[in-house]
Amino acid sequence: MKPLTIAVTGLNNNDNPGPGISITRALKASTLEVKVIGLSYEYSEPGIYLEHQLAIYMIPYPIPGSDNVFRRLKEINDLHKIDMLIPNFDTEIANFIRLQPKLSEIGIKMILPTLEQFNERRKEKLSEFGTKYKLDVPSSEPISSVDKIHSFASINGYPLVVKGKFYEAEVVWNYEHATKAFNKISSKWGLPIVLQKYVDGIELNVCALGDGTGNTFGTVLMRKLYVTEIGKAWSGMVIADSDLEKITKKLINKTKWNGPMELEVIKSKDDGSYQILEINPRFPAWVYLSVGAGINLPERMVKKCFKKPIKNNIKAKEGTMFIRYSIDLICTNERFEKILSLDGNILP
């Protein structure tokens, strides 16, 4: 059988890394025969410069209501028959959900939530989501003006968390700090900004896969051991937590979630409750940990997509750790100029 051709986005690997490189590593470590194609939005994404690992193609930024991304993918598909595409940026997923029928017509499969599922778990709607599905969610409020900070803080107190609608969050300790964070984050990601009550406790993450009918076919639970200034896990350990596992499976069952999901959770020091901070509609950047834990989640999703058998009784190995590190990629000026001159078609 010919190898499956899998296209992935999210090749950035800065202090807020995308999942694309981790997914590529997971697929290369799987039992599947795969050829991975990287889809990049910017020439600065480090995944472009991993020579001999990916074929790379530049794609345009998704503009709502535009077929520019579809046209580019059709061009790439004519060169390399793409069997499956795994999008990894929150900002692009809604566009790919809308494009799913057209991409399916040219043979490109995806496993994605519905647009309704995607929208209802947005940060600015998380309180309503928690009420609907009976989840513990910290008090939060979307705001479009700094004038709303005082009223939220008067009820919930400081510290509180200021969040961008797509990415970035900052714990703030007073009104001036909150205003500064509001302006900084909104300038990057737009409005609304979400204010969320701060919860002190143990930081946990879950990566899970839903099959679209209410069943879960893979979970890895992780405790953050080291967190960067912007709240990203730089090291973590696989844990066993039956209560958090039940919460995850119950959520997937009730929502009929399709595809990967990451839960960001705080186990409160006050009452031991599991407070859901965010629900991300994609694989996390730490998903390669699932390979070390013996339950390769990207491999499972590809197998599910192509109706290959999956062993559902496997549990992630408790105590497996990941430690992220930075590495300098050396690139010649000639290669950089070649990349810029190839009109978005970058081969190893």
Is residue 306 predicted with pLDDT exceeding 90? yes
Smallest CA-to-CA distance from 4 within 43, 30, 40, 41 is with 30
Rounded (10°) angle between helices 126-133 and 242-255? 100
Which one of 39-43, 212-216, 232-236 scores highest in mean pLDDT?
A: 212-216
85 strand-pairing partners: 7
Q: What pLDDT is recorded for position 200? A: 95
Tens-place pLDDT, residues 270-297: 999 999 999 999 999 999 999 999 999 9
Tens-place pLDDT, residues 145-173: 999 999 999 999 999 999 998 888 899 99
> Could you tell me the domains of the chain?
4-111+328-346 (3.40.50.20), 139-197 (3.30.1490.20), 200-323 (3.30.470.20)
Tens-place pLDDT, residues 40-93: 988 888 888 776 567 888 899 887 667 899 999 999 999 989 999 999 999 999
pTM reported for the whole predicted model:
0.92
**Cis peptide bond upstream of 64, omega within 30:** no
Smallest CA-to-CA distance from 280 within 7, 10, 5 is with 10
